[in-house]
Amino acid sequence: MRKWLVLLTLLLGSAVAQSVQVTAGSPFGVNAGVRFPLVPLLLDGRVYGGANFFTGGPASLGGGADVLVSVPLTDLYAGAGLFYASGTTVSLISQGSTSGGLGARGVIGTYLNVGLPLVGIFVEVHPMLFFSGSSTFGLGGAIGVNIGF
């Protein structure tokens, strides 16, 4: 049932997406997802999935969803979301449980002005909280490419 719910979310998300995003960094190493408007020019949603090949051992797979608030008249945005990992994540301080589990993360990011039409480069910082076992704190970051509006 969980797999069908993830598939349905990705299919519906891509139908209303305003952009496709690919990132390198936290939480899963290589991430891809879609970003879609919830309230135009103010509130966006993002769903993503990824694979972690960087922290050694078997690859960790996972996915998550974020709600992002844009700061008007700037390229800044911030938000929060939940993610699920099947193993460790890409993070400083703590990488979470090797058996994976549920986590929450904050998102603080900005777009870099590169001047390309329909292509944006962004950087993000992610404070993370892992819920599996004893709760631990992690800190990650990512750099990514946004294709779309």
In terms of DSSP bridges, do strands 29-39 and 101-112 run parallel, antiparallel, or are they unpaired?
unpaired
pLDDT value for 120 = 92
User: What would the pLDDT profile of 4-62 be if each residue is shown by its tens digit?
Assistant: 766 666 666 556 678 899 999 888 889 999 999 999 889 999 999 998 887 666 778 89
Instruction: Please report, for the chain, the start and end positions of each structural domain, with discontinuous segments joined by +.
Output: 18-148
Strand partners, 60: 52
**CATH, range 18-148:** 2.40.160.20
How far is residue 78's CA from residue 103's CA, in Å, rounded to a whole number? Answer: 17
With beta carbons less than 8 A apart as the criterion, state whether 96 and 103 touch: yes
Give backbone dihedrals phi and psi of 59, rounded to 5 degrees, phi first. -65, 140
